[in-house]
C-alpha cells in the first residue's frame, strides 16, 4: 500500500499562505494527501518547504523526506549541505541540478518538477488594457540582498505616464497581501533577488534591476549564486541609477524580454513545466510513495 503524502506547513501566517499556493496545484492531482503543521509523520512521504536546523533531527528518523522550494529564487539557502540530508530534493529546473550535484548531492536524489505555485497564472486571462503602462516594484525581504528599504526614496519619483505599484515581501508587510494578481497586471517589474524575478520572466514580463542599490552586496555575499550570474552577465535590464531606470522602463515596454533572458529561463523553469508543475510533482510523489 502506498505511503501517505504529507505536506508540512509552518506557523507563520504569511509563509503558510505561500506554501498553500504551492501545495494546492499538487493536491488536485493526488487522490489522498495530508497537510500537517510542522510535523513529519512516520511512514509517510513528508514534503518540507524549509530546511532550518530545527527540522534535521526530526527528518532523520521519520518517514521519507522530500525538500521542495518555497520560492524559486536562489538565496543561498539550498546548498547541498543544507538540503542534501533529505531523501529527495525537488527543484524547479536544470540549473539547480547542476549546482546541487556540484555540491555533492547524488543525481538520483534530484527531480525537476517546476514551480507549482505559478500553474494558475498560465491560465489567467490578461487584464483589460489600461491607458497607462503598469510598473510593479516587488523586492525580496529586507533581511536579504534587497533593494528595500533603500528604494523607498524613489517611490514617489516615477513619471505620470506610468502607473506605479509596490508589492513588498510578506516579511516587510504589516498586512501581507498576494503579489500574483499584481504581477499578472504588470507590464514591467522592478526587483532584485526575489522569486518575483523568475515568476515575471516565466510570464514574459521584463525585469529591471536597481544595480546601484544591490549589485555590490549580491556579488560580495553570494558570489557563486544565480543572482550573481544575473548581475555579472547583465541578464535582463540593469540600471546604474534611477534616471537610467526610467529610460530602461520605456525601453523594456517596447522591446520586452530578449533572447538571452529567454534562454536563461529555460534553465530556471523549463517551458514544458509551465502550467504543468503540480501534475508532474504529484506523479513523482506517487512514485516515491510506492517505494
Higher pLDDT, 215 or 79: 215
pLDDT of residue 170: 57
Higher pLDDT, 110 or 180: 110
Q: Is the pLDDT of residue 74 over 90?
A: no
Q: Which helix (H) or strand (E) holds 137?
A: strand 133-137
Structural contact between residues 134 and 185, judged by C-beta atoms closer than 8 angstroms = yes
* pLDDT tens, residue by residue, 86-113: 899 999 999 999 999 999 999 999 999 9
Q: Is the pLDDT of residue 165 over 50?
A: yes
Q: Which helix (H) or strand (E) holds 242?
A: helix 242-255
Q: Is the pLDDT of residue 146 over 70?
A: yes
Q: By CB neighbour count within 10 A (0-12 exposed, 13-18 middle, 19+ buried), where does 42 fall? A: exposed
Nearest-angstrom CA–CA distance, 286 and 273: 18
Pairing of strands 5-9, 34-37: parallel
Nearest-angstrom CA–CA distance, 190 and 286: 38
pTM of the full structure: 0.86
* pLDDT tens, residue by residue, 220-258: 999 989 999 999 999 999 999 999 999 999 999 999 999
Per the listing, cell 509596490 goes with 166
Average pLDDT over residues 52-67: 70
Nearest-angstrom CA–CA distance, 189 and 136: 5
189 phi and psi angles, rounded to 5 deg: -120, 140
Higher pLDDT, 44 or 123: 44
Nearest-angstrom CA–CA distance, 194 and 227: 9
Average pLDDT over residues 28-53: 86
Helices (H) and strands (E) in the chain, counts: 11, 11
pLDDT of residue 138: 93
pLDDT of residue 219: 96
Nearest-angstrom CA–CA distance, 228 and 91: 19
Higher pLDDT, 143 or 265: 265
Packing angle of the helix pair 259-268, 94-102 (nearest 10 deg): 60
Rg (CA), the chain: 19
pLDDT of residue 56: 60
Q: Is the pLDDT of residue 122 over 50?
A: yes
Average pLDDT over residues 138-164: 89
Share of the chain above pLDDT 90, in %: 63
Reading the block at residue 264, the C-alpha cell is 536563461
Q: Is the pLDDT of residue 58 over 60?
A: no
* pLDDT tens, residue by residue, 3-16: 999 998 876 666 77
Weakest-pLDDT range from 98-112, 121-135, 254-268:
121-135
Write down all domains in the chain, each with its CATH number in brackets: 5-118+275-289 (3.40.50.2000), 124-268 (3.40.50)
Reading the block at residue 241, the C-alpha cell is 541609477
Nearest to 45 by CA among 289, 290, 273: 289
* pLDDT tens, residue by residue, 197-220: 999 999 999 999 999 999 999 999
Nearest-angstrom CA–CA distance, 18 and 173: 14
**pLDDT band (50, 70, 90) for residue 174:** very low
Amino acid at each position: 500500500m502506498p505511503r501517505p503524502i504529507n505536506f508540512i506547513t509552518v506557523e507563520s501566517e504569511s509563509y503558510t499562505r505561500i506554501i498553500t499556493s504551492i501545495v494546492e496545484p499538487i493536491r488536485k492531482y493526488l487522490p489522498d494527501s495530508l497537510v500537517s503543521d510542522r510535523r513529519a509523520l512516520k511512514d509517510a512521504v513528508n514534503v518540507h518547504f524549509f530546511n532550518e536546523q530545527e527540522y534535521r533531527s526530526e527528518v532523520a528518523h521519520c518517514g521519507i523526506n522530500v525538500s521542495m522550494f518555497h520560492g524559486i529564487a536562489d538565496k543561498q539557502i539550498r546548498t547541498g549541505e543544507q538540503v542534501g540530508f533529505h531523501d529527495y530534493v525537488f527543484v524547479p529546473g536544470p540549473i539547480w541540478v547542476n549546482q546541487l550535484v556540484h555540491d555533492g548531492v547524488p543525481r538520483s536524489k534530484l527531480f525537476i518538477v517546476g514551480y507549482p505555485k505559478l500553474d494558475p497564472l498560465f491560465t489567467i486571462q490578461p487584464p483589460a488594457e489600461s491607458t497607462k503602462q503598469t510598473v510593479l516594484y516587488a523586492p525580496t525581504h529586507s533581511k536579504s540582498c534587497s533593494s528595500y528599504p533603500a528604494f523607498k526614496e524613489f517611490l514617489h519619483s516615477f513619471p505620470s505616464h506610468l502607473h506605479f505599484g509596490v508589492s513588498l515581501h510578506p516579511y516587510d508587510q504589516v498586512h501581507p497581501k498576494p503579489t500574483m494578481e499584481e504581477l499578472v497586471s504588470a507590464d514591467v517589474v522592478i526587483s532584485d533577488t526575489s522569486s518575483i524575478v523568475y515568476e515575471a520572466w516565466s510570464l514574459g514580463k521584463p525585469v529591471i534591476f536597481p544595480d546601484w542599490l544591490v549589485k555590490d552586496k549580491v556579488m560580495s555575499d553570494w558570489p557563486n549564486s544565480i543572482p550573481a550570474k544575473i548581475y555579472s552577465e547583465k541578464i535582463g535590464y540593469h540600471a546604474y541609477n534611477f534616471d537610467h531606470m526610467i529610460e530602461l522602463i520605456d525601453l523594456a515596454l517596447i522591446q520586452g524580454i530578449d533572447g538571452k533572458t529567454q534562454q536563461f529561463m529555460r534553465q530556471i523553469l523549463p517551458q514544458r513545466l509551465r502550467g504543468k508543475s503540480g501534475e508532474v510533482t504529484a506523479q513523482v510523489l506517487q512514485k516515491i510513495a510506492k517505494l
